[in-house]
Amino acid sequence: MSRIVKIFDTTLRDGEQSPGCSMNLKEKLEMAKQLERLKIDVIEAGFAIASPGDFESVQLVANEIKNATVASLARSTEKDISTAYEAIKTAVNPRIHFFIATSDLHMEYKLKMKPDAVLEKAIAMAKYARNLCGEVEFSAEDASRTRPEFLYQVLEAVIDQGVCVVNVPDTVGYATPDEYFRFIQGIRNNVPNIDKAVISAHVHDDLGLAVANSLAAIQAGAGQVECTINGIGERAGNAALEEIVMALKTRNDIYQADTNIDTTQIYRSSRLLTKLTGVKVQPNKAIVGENAFAHESGIHQHGVLANKQTYEIMTPESIGLKENKMVLGKHSGKHAFVDKLSSLGYSFKDEEILDLFEQFKVLADKKKDITDKDILALVEQKQLAIPEVYSLERFVISTGNTISTAATVQLRKNGDLIEGVSLGDGPISAGFKAISELVGSNLTLIDYGVEAVTDGTDAQGEAQVKISDGNQVYHGRGLSTDIIDASLKAYIDAVNQMIYINETQVHAEKV
Ligand code: KIV
Ligand code: ZN
């Protein structure tokens, strides 16, 4: 008989903390909604005390998410814990997640506290948190390098205070699967009141063992695993959610454990995160990499054609990769369009549907067949839209291999038309330069790329631009069947992001 292992997603906290993965308020909310569609059990929405912006985003996620527990991280101080609670208290099911380091190394050099003081603090904070919130999780940071007897003592004490989940992280990704298995078994066998709490595993990937360690923990009896989409996270990342979930599903004969996850939402979740952060997944990444289901060699193709199971241990459909073949075109009506949106898991208000349908019609005039990926790209573009201070009105770019490229770009700034001309090495650099001069800020281009959304010469191009104003990096996206149009829109989106983020930060400071 299979049991259910709870999936605790920390993409928005441990994941978002990693370089290049920061998201704005709206992006965090869209990611949280996708995690809800994925049927995550617990969404760790952030670290509320970290900044006013973090507080606001945790609060927003807590308000909007209805079908998952929403957690906020806190250090072991009353201020941290009460701030975490303030941010999540409106959630349907709130959880305070507080932590303190328990290894000798961390206690001596980081906390500069004696073990007795750490134990006392953990007990006091567990009591404090439980008085605020019905559901409290405790993490013993660097648990895998903690003296077992001390760890057992701390866990027993916090469970006595009503903590219902005890998380025992391999904070630095040092443990091996066999060791982590025995470590979880040790907790089960030596913490007298462990039946009153769920054991949670939280593993980092410094030695590439995070997923193996998480699975070992499940085999040893852990009832919750903490992970992130695409395995993003501090340093080498956290355990990848999609790998744990698909391993449990594909090798149920070994693990005898299920999850509540709707695996057909995995590919979409991975794709959305990539779109939000601009951080790409390596092509050979398990489950969600571009090549994960590609069969290039003749022998493999032959085998798969004869019987899929020769080289395919799970189907692309099971992670939502294969498209539903019902293609839309310019003669498709609003009904078919709405049906398609709902089959993809989206529901929108009437006015939003009208707007999306209009964009769909514009696209259908330029592109013969519109696939699920095209629709998703339109939907994501709409969901992530922020107030547009600048928008692209028109551009003319003359280019060639023997002349300098000249770009004339006309923008609308809060409704007024402004125009600029610039020379550059090519159409993109000339266009970007013209926009940057019109905006009047000293902006540096950090990263730029375009990808086709689907196959075919009429495919939509999705451009990503990262710019810096010297303080922060801003990430913009643009979508069009013309790649120069997509690129200029992405640059303008990055400028609008800069304005939006700076304004929401000012606003957040008032919270
Ligand atoms: O890796 C870790 O130890 C953590 C804890 C704060 C839960 O992220
Ligand atoms: Zn961590």
Any idea what DSSP says for residue 326? -
Q: Do 494 and 377 share a structural domain?
A: no
> Which residue, of 361, 383, 405, is where some domain finishes?
383
**Interval 27-53 mean pLDDT:** 97
Q: Do 295 and 394 share a structural domain?
A: no
Are the C-beta atoms of 121 and 100 separated by less than 8 Å?
yes
In a domain, 62, yes or no: yes
Global pTM value: 0.88
In a domain, 450, yes or no: yes
| pLDDT at 235 > cutoff 80 | yes
Look up tokens 């001069």; give the residue.
Answer: 437
pLDDT band at residue 297, thresholds of 50, 70 and 90?
low
| Alpha carbon distance 278, 449 (integer Å) | 9
Q: Do 244 and 151 share a structural domain?
A: yes
* Beta bridge partners of residue 72, listed in sequence order: 46, 96
Query: Per mean pLDDT, which of 288-292, 343-347, 485-489 is the most reliable?
Result: 485-489
Indicate which CATH number applies to the domain containing 128: 3.20.20.70
CA atoms within 13 A on the CB side of 435: 31
Q: Do 227 and 188 share a structural domain?
A: yes
Q: Do 150 and 247 share a structural domain?
A: yes
pLDDT band at residue 44, thresholds of 50, 70 and 90?
very high
* Beta bridge partners of residue 170, listed in sequence order: 203
> Which residue, of 277, 309, 342, is where some domain finishes?
277
Q: Do 477 and 444 share a structural domain?
A: yes
Position in ligand 1 atom list of the atom nearest CA 167: 7
Q: Do 216 and 156 share a structural domain?
A: yes
Are the C-beta atoms of 284 and 291 separated by less than 8 Å?
yes
Percent of the residues in the chain that have a pLDDT greater than 90, as a whole number: 77
Residue nearest to atom 8 of ligand 1 (CA): 14
* Ligand 1 site residues, Cβ closer than 6 angstroms: 14, 99, 139, 141, 167, 169, 171, 202, 204
Main-chain phi, psi angles of 14, to 5 degrees? -65, -35
Are the C-beta atoms of 214 and 8 separated by less than 8 Å?
no
In a domain, 76, yes or no: yes
| Alpha carbon distance 430, 406 (integer Å) | 6
| Alpha carbon distance 181, 202 (integer Å) | 13
Q: What is residue 332's predicted lDDT score, i.e. its pLDDT?
A: 86
Task: Convert the pLDDT of each residue in 156-214 to its tens digit.
Answer: 999 999 999 999 999 999 999 999 999 999 999 999 999 999 999 999 999 999 999 99
Question: Rounded to a whole number, what is the distance in angstroms from the first to the last CA of the chain?
Answer: 49
Q: What is residue 361's predicted lDDT score, i.e. its pLDDT?
A: 92
**Which of 98, 202, 228 to mutate for ligand 1's pocket (most ligand atoms within 8 Å of CB)?**
202
Buried b (16+ CB within 10 A) or exposed e, 41-50: bbbbbbbbbb
Q: Do 357 and 396 share a structural domain?
A: no
Give CA separation, 97 vs 10, 73, 231, 301, in Å. Answer: 11, 5, 20, 48
Q: What is residue 372's predicted lDDT score, i.e. its pLDDT?
A: 83
**Interval 354-382 mean pLDDT:** 88
**What H or E segment, with its residue span, contains residue 343?**
helix 334-343
**236 CA to centre of ligand 1 in angstroms:** 14
Q: Do 299 and 171 share a structural domain?
A: no
Task: Tell me the average pLDDT of the chain.
Answer: 93
Residue nearest to atom 7 of ligand 1 (CA): 139
Are the C-beta atoms of 285 and 271 separated by less than 8 Å?
no
In a domain, 302, yes or no: yes
* Strand ranges, E, within 196-311: 198-202, 224-227, 257-258
In a domain, 283, yes or no: no
Q: Do 452 and 401 share a structural domain?
A: yes
Q: Do 431 and 337 share a structural domain?
A: no
Are the C-beta atoms of 279 and 21 separated by less than 8 Å?
yes
> Which residue, of 334, 350, 383, is where some domain finishes?
383
In a domain, 487, yes or no: yes
Residue nearest to atom 5 of ligand 1 (CA): 141
**Interval 421-431 mean pLDDT:** 95
Q: Do 270 and 396 share a structural domain?
A: no
Question: For the chain, what is the domain count?
Answer: 4
| Alpha carbon distance 88, 27 (integer Å) | 18
Q: What is residue 508's predicted lDDT score, i.e. its pLDDT?
A: 40
Which-ligand-closest: CA of 139?
1
Residue nearest to atom 2 of ligand 1 (CA): 171
Q: Extract the tokens encoding 164.
A: 């219902």
In a domain, 422, yes or no: yes
473-480 and 461-468 beta bridge pairing: antiparallel
**Amino acid at the residue 414:** N
**316 lies in which domain range?**
291-320
Task: Convert the pLDDT of each residue in 327-345 to its tens digit.
Answer: 788 888 888 899 888 888 7
| Alpha carbon distance 41, 186 (integer Å) | 26
pLDDT band at residue 347, thresholds of 50, 70 and 90?
confident
In a domain, 63, yes or no: yes
